[in-house]
Amino acid sequence: MAFGSTLVIGYASGNKTLTKINVAEPYASEYYLRESLVSHKAQIRHTTVSRKDATTGLVTVYDRHNVEFMKTVFATVSAKEYYVKSYNVLEQPPQVGDVELTDALADWLIASSNVNIVSLNNWES
């Protein structure tokens, strides 16, 4: 199963519908929306990584799922171009279907009207 030909990203200011523009391989897709002064991009990638335990020497293979959103605000006469990027990586053994940790992270980030994201932007830790 694959994501569809469009991907809807919910912004506080309203939804943005991005169109699939690239399927790099069976396990990677890219979506894009160009507006007059802003572009929106999303990438979804799946890979595997191997982790070797230093003490036992045993190797465990992990599925790695990466979702990245990027918004570029283009330059104007009075302002330079800039981008904002947010991404999440989920790594776990293929036989583990647990989504609890990623769900907890998303909930923590948006808790209390996004106060934790604001705190991160203010270099709090």
Return phi, psi of residue 114, to 5°: 70, 20
pLDDT at 80: 98
**Residue 50 vs residue 110, higher pLDDT:** 50
- Which architecture does CATH list for 6-94? Beta Barrel (2.40)
pLDDT digits (tens, 9 = 90+) for 37-64: 999 999 999 999 998 999 999 999 999 9
- Band the pLDDT of 105: cuts 50, 70, 90: very high
- The letter for the amino acid at 80 is K
The residue ranges of DSSP E strands in 1-125, in sequence order, are 6-11, 14-25, 28-34, 38-52, 59-73, 82-92
Q: Is the pLDDT of residue 1 over 60?
A: no
Q: Enumerate the domain spans of the chain.
A: 6-94, 97-125
* CA 106 – CA 80 distance, rounded (Å): 31
Q: What is the rounded average pLDDT for all residues in the chain?
A: 93
- The DSSP output letter for 109 is H
Residue with tokens 């940790």: 101
pTM higher than 0.85, yes or no? yes
Return phi, psi of residue 9, to 5°: -110, 125
pLDDT digits (tens, 9 = 90+) for 68-86: 999 999 999 999 999 999 9
Q: Is the pLDDT of residue 104 over 60?
A: yes
Comparing CA positions, the residue from 27, 29, 30, 33 lying closest to residue 11 is: 33
* CA 86 – CA 4 distance, rounded (Å): 21
